[in-house]
Amino acid sequence: MGARTSNYVAETRWGKWLDERLPIGRVVKNQFIDYPTPRNLNYLWTFGGILTLILVGQIATGVVLAMHYQPSATGAFNSIEQIRRDVNYGWMLRNFHAVGASMFFFAVYIHIFRGFYYGSYKAPREVLWILGVLIMLLMMATAFMGYTLPWGQMSFWGVTVITNLFSALDTIVNGLGTAVVEWLWGGYAVSGVTLNRFFSLHYLLPFVLTGVVGLHIWALHIVGQNNPTGLDLKEPTDCVPMHPYATSKDAVGIFAFLLLYAWFVFFVPDYLGHADNYIEANPLVTPPHIVPEWYFLPFYAILRAFTSSFLGIPLGQYAKLCGVVAMFSAVIIIAFAPWLDTSRIRSAKYRPIFKWFFWFFVFTCVSLGYLGSKPAEGVYVVAAQIFTVCYFLFFLVAMPIVGLIETPRRLPRSITESVLSKGGAGLPSGAAAAPETR
């Protein structure tokens, strides 16, 4: 985005005084009112605003819930139930917070898939993309620690299983993994000490997340928004002011999303949870099937896909370590998308081959999520291994090779041309754009 001359003029004497010392009004007008927004954005671009709104809501409800929560092995479970029954509107605050975590991940996954489809990771938005991946990692850490706090059976055994993954480091350096696990637990087993430190970090990380979100928005306003064509802003007619055009569109999308959010909160608040978590944590009784929250299931499936034999390849004692490495790599590899994709075209709208690979990638992620919810046995393990391979092939094979061999469709000359042409597609070669009617 090129430099823009500000037309902000403070209307009051106090406003002029403040503008000379701390130009808040000027920043708001330039960055959130007059900010040039591509005129062809669709409702998938609303999820950035939705995520910001949910983050604010999660912090607000979390602060209030923390006032009534007891981070101890003897009081945590009962304090959650007390919040639901005895605190004024506690049931609503708890539901908003619990459902909000699911809505947060639902929105961020759509946000990421939209970025893949329209090439929002390509230059000059590499730093913007990496900050987005960092946000997702912080979200995962925050959500994992938050899932521990109800201190139900699934919470207790979930944290036991996941933290115990670090014991795989013993295969590299004898005793290293055990030392890391005991350091995380604060002892020789998951206990109230573990719960207390996870509660502390769960309270802290959202504020760290907010800081990274601020950097993400800052980077966005430096390089500008991508759009469905993937073209840069070339003409004054390619963009419109953020307010009222983009803000009114976002308001409609946010309202529709809040209806879905409210339906879960008021009618089926426990639908996305697990029934075993309403049983108080018991270290002596293991649930028959330990599963994390739904938004972790694809990565959980990748973790469990590595057994003693992976598609006929014997792994032996290294199976656990391979699973842990693959699970973390599945997230981190997303950050390398700007350099793995070799195509000069951003949007899959003009990439006929990549478009099919993208939708197969979406199918792969959904399938891994389904397999993560099933027992790690029989055909489920084999299917998880196949889809794990497909997941990494998308990044390591499809993205580099497809960009070299496919012939993209002709791009429109500008965003304005794509808007004025029928269906928003590029005009045939040699065709002229229709005049704009007013």
At 390, the amino acid letter reads C
Whether the per-residue pLDDT at 141 is higher than 60: the answer is yes
Domain 36-156+185-236+244-277: CATH architecture, name and number where available: Up-down Bundle (1.20)
CB 366 within 8 A of CB 245: no
DSSP state of 435: P
pLDDT tens-place string over residues 92-107: 999 999 999 999 999 9
Structure tokens at 307: 């057994």
Choice among 115-129, 275-289, 385-399 with the minimum mean pLDDT: 275-289
Mean pLDDT of 410-432: 70
Query: In terms of pTM, does the model score above 0.85?
Result: yes
The DSSP result for 327-378, as a single string, is HHHHHHGGGGHHHH---S---GGG-HHHHHHHHHHHHHHHHHHHHHTS-SST
In the chain, pLDDT over 70 holds for what percent of residues? 95
**Domain boundary assignment for the chain:** 36-156+185-236+244-277, 291-406
Mean pLDDT of 139-162: 96
Mean pLDDT of 253-258: 98
Whether the per-residue pLDDT at 437 is higher than 80: the answer is no
Whether the per-residue pLDDT at 434 is higher than 60: the answer is no
Structure tokens at 405: 């061999």
Contacts of 10 (CB under 8 A, 6+ apart): 16, 18, 19, 25
Contacts of 366 (CB under 8 A, 6+ apart): none
Q: What is the pLDDT of residue 57?
A: 98
Q: What is the pLDDT of residue 5?
A: 57
Q: What is the pLDDT of residue 425?
A: 45
CA distances from 428 to 15, 16, 345, 381 (A): 52, 52, 18, 49
CB 315 within 8 A of CB 171: no
316: confidence class by pLDDT, cuts 50, 70, 90:
very high
Q: What is the pLDDT of residue 362?
A: 99
Q: Which phi-psi region, left, alpha or beta, contains residue 238 (left: φ > 0; alpha: ψ -120 to 50)?
A: alpha
- Per the listing, tokens 């790690």 go with 376
The DSSP result for 275-323, as a single string, is GGGGSB--TT---SS----GGGHHHHHHHHH--SEETTEE-GGGHHHHH
Whether the per-residue pLDDT at 272 is higher than 50: the answer is yes
Q: What is the pLDDT of residue 7?
A: 78
Torsion of CA 294, 296, 302, 306, to 10 degrees: -100
Give the Cα separation of 185 and 164 in Å (integer).
9
The continuous run of DSSP H or E covering 218 comes out as: helix 192-223
State the average pLDDT for the chain. Answer: 93
pLDDT tens-place string over residues 7-16: 788 889 999 9
CA distances from 291 to 103, 155, 286, 367 (A): 19, 10, 12, 16
222: confidence class by pLDDT, cuts 50, 70, 90:
very high
Whether the per-residue pLDDT at 289 is higher than 50: the answer is yes
Mean pLDDT of 317-339: 97
CA distances from 381 to 281, 318, 375 (A): 28, 17, 8
Whether the per-residue pLDDT at 435 is higher than 80: the answer is no
Mean pLDDT of 395-412: 97
Mean pLDDT of 239-268: 96
C-alpha 258: how far from its chain's center? 18
CB 345 within 8 A of CB 119: yes
CATH of domain 291-406: 1.10.287
CA distances from 54 to 102, 209, 269 (A): 10, 13, 16
Q: What is the pLDDT of residue 423?
A: 54
Q: What is the pLDDT of residue 422?
A: 56
CA distances from 34 to 27, 152, 249 (A): 10, 49, 15
